[in-house]
Amino acid sequence: MRHSVSVTCCALLVSSFSLAYAADVPGGTVLAEKQELVRHIKDEPASLDPAKAVGLPEIQVIRDLFEGLVNQNEKGEIIPGVASQWKSNDNRIWTFTLRDDAQWADGTPVTAQDFVYSWQRLVDPKTLSPFAWFAALAGITNAQAIIDGKVTPDQLGVSAVDAHTLRVQLDKPLLWFASLTASFAFYPVQKANVESGKDWMKPGKLIGNGAYVLKERVVNEKLVVVPNTHYWDNAKTVLQKVTFLPINQESAATKRYLAGDIDITESFPKNMYQKLLKDIPGQVYTPPQLGTYYYAFNTQKGPTADSRVRLALSMTIDRRLMAEKVLGTGEKPAWHFTPDVTAGFTPDPSPFEQMSQEELNAQAKTLLRAAGYGSQKPLKLTLLYNTSENHQKIAIAVASMWKKNLGVDVKLQNQEWKTYIDSRNTGNFDVIRASWVGDYNEPSTFLSLLTSTHTGNISRFTNPTYDKILTQATMENTAEARNADYNAAEKILTEQAPIAPIYQYTNGRLIKPWVKGYPITNPEDVAYSRTMYIVKH
């Protein structure tokens, strides 16, 4: 359930695998004649450019169209992708050997230079990538300096030794670097394709290196992908057509699932959980996921710029009630930003967890009064969320808690995904719904989001001590020291409250019984369509 291959194995040599993770059909299995799958995604993808992706709707599709150096198996362990093997003698200089048969969808070879170009493009300020920070987090030499415009992209610590050998130079040793390259942000794009014009991502023009190619796209209706015959492991691809349906209402997606129009949903309405368990046993899944649902406060302007206001609002969210009653599908209260299932993290008890909700509410009232708000001057704010029944349900519950316990007047505002992203990126909010599903299984995938220079820092939180702690964590020589750093960082988040973690995710979804190969135990919910197949039914 963790990146055990990259995090726990010998630091001197990481990997030499012969097998990849494709559809593994057991002997004797009778396959359906029609190998076509329909997958639900929660919104229309904002972009199919790996460097421009911002959320799960597009990432789910991009994982089928492109492939990075490494992939993940059903347990979240890294396995070969474009790279057949990788090694490092010091965890600072990494060498990846690319397989000879990796090709783009047009039949041209995927080379080390393709990765050099793509990674330089990722950090180039001109690209405006929302995930440029990931290269800096990984510690690739000069990544942050390039992002800041201090040096040119060609100074990035990545080079092509030859067509099939990629060398990566890090600022400091990082034991789990190889696992980071599974992220979509590090997927390669073909230079000629990108530079062919603004329509390069359209069907018939997009040239990826993944197991599938984009055949059709009708905005807000569907995206259709079919096998990439030039994919190096295409012989093991079973599904001949995958259709992604963007539907942001869980009830609508569930209705279409029950009608037989969808084979896999991304979620389902929480209030239908018990009924679904009764009506379609064996099709309802809720395993833990490496993710946290939270509210981000605007720390730079408005009433939430005051940490006392933020802390009061955070304290009055009844996390136990939210997890057990409002949601009720196995979620856990989020007393920390980092989920319990995260590898390498043993959390210290949160003071919130040790207090009753009544005690928390009482302290919150005192804080809000100290900030100048009360019955004569009620706090007024807007809570923004992207369109979804689940988000609306949670927002209504939280707004009710704030009104009842603090007298806060809350205006609920919902926006479609792309508009919501614009509001988030421009800081046009008081409080905004957010979530994070780890890009890799280590605490820094969560805690780094709140560092001052991180483009994913929705709250615009700035705390030099916090930044220093996160930097120190990457240099620790023992797991115990790193864990202590991570707990110190969590303590600052609790006290300063730039965010209010609400609950830890479960991977709630519906899957038809004839769909096999879905990696339901992957903690990051990485699910490549090429691992799936449909049995006769």
Please write the tens of the pLDDT for every residue from 373-382.
999 999 999 9
Q: Give yes or no for residue 12 having a pLDDT over 60.
A: no
d(CA 399, CA 410): 6
Q: Give yes or no for residue 16 having a pLDDT over 50.
A: no
Two domains, one topology: 4-210+508-534 and 291-506: no
d(CA 149, CA 528): 35
Q: Give yes or no for residue 184 having a pLDDT over 80.
A: yes
pLDDT class for 21, splitting at 50, 70, 90? low
Closest C-alpha among 113, 116, 114, 130 to residue 169: 116
pLDDT tens-digit map of 300-320: 999 999 999 999 999 999 999
Q: Give the phi and the psi of residue 383 in degrees, each rounded to 5.
A: -110, 115
Which token pair is 524?
């990051």
Q: CA torsion sign, 485 to 487 to 491 to 496? A: positive
pLDDT of residue 2: 30
Q: Give yes or no for residue 406 having a pLDDT over 70.
A: yes
pLDDT class for 516, splitting at 50, 70, 90? very high
Q: Give yes or no for residue 32 having a pLDDT over 70.
A: yes
d(CA 316, CA 332): 17
pLDDT class for 4, splitting at 50, 70, 90? very low
pLDDT of residue 321: 97
Pairing of strands 83-87, 380-386: unpaired
d(CA 270, CA 219): 27
Cα-based torsion angle of the residue sequence 161, 82, 138, 123 in order, rounded to the nearest 10 degrees: 80
Q: Give yes or no for residue 423 having a pLDDT over 80.
A: yes
Residue bearing the bigger pLDDT, 464 or 5: 464
Q: Where are the domains of the chain?
A: 4-210+508-534, 291-506
**In this structure, which topology does domain 291-506 adopt according to CATH?**
Dipeptide-binding Protein; domain 3 (3.10.105)
Least confident of 49-58, 162-171, 255-264, 435-444: 435-444
The pTM assigned to this predicted structure is 0.78
Q: Give yes or no for residue 137 having a pLDDT over 90.
A: no
d(CA 487, CA 485): 5
pLDDT class for 23, splitting at 50, 70, 90? confident
What average pLDDT does the segment 362-366 reach?
Answer: 98
d(CA 184, CA 129): 12
Residue bearing the bigger pLDDT, 413 or 508: 413
pLDDT class for 19, splitting at 50, 70, 90? very low
d(CA 355, CA 94): 47
pLDDT of residue 11: 34
pLDDT of residue 408: 98
Q: Give yes or no for residue 13 having a pLDDT over 60.
A: no
Which token pair is 77?
């362990």
Which token pair is 390?
């689940």
Q: Give yes or no for residue 131 having a pLDDT over 90.
A: yes
For the chain, give the percent of residues with pLDDT over 90: 85
pLDDT of residue 22: 76
**Separation of CA 194 from chain center:** 24
What SS3 state is found at 405? helix
What CATH number should be reported for the domain whose range is 4-210+508-534? 3.90.76.10
What average pLDDT does the segment 455-470 reach?
Answer: 96
Closest C-alpha among 373, 382, 450, 453 to residue 420: 382
pLDDT of residue 479: 87
- Provide the 10 A C-beta neighbour count for residue 307: 17
What average pLDDT does the segment 408-437 reach?
Answer: 95
Q: Give yes or no for residue 441 having a pLDDT over 80.
A: yes
What average pLDDT does the segment 162-190 reach?
Answer: 95
Residue bearing the bigger pLDDT, 11 or 54: 54
C-alpha distances (whole Å) from 127 to each of 143, 147, 159, 336, 350 are: 14, 10, 20, 33, 40
pLDDT of residue 3: 31
- Residues across the chain: 537
d(CA 167, CA 163): 11
What is the CB-side half-sphere exposure of residue 61 using CA atoms within 13 A? 33
Closest C-alpha among 88, 94, 96, 92 to residue 173: 92
Which token pair is 458?
């929705």
Q: Give yes or no for residue 141 having a pLDDT over 50.
A: yes
Concatenating the DSSP letter of every residue in 424-440 gives HHHT--SEEEEEEE-SS
**Helix axis angle, 479-496 relative to 307-315, nearest 10°?**
100
Residue bearing the bigger pLDDT, 388 or 385: 385
Average pLDDT, the chain: 93
What SS3 state is found at 217? strand
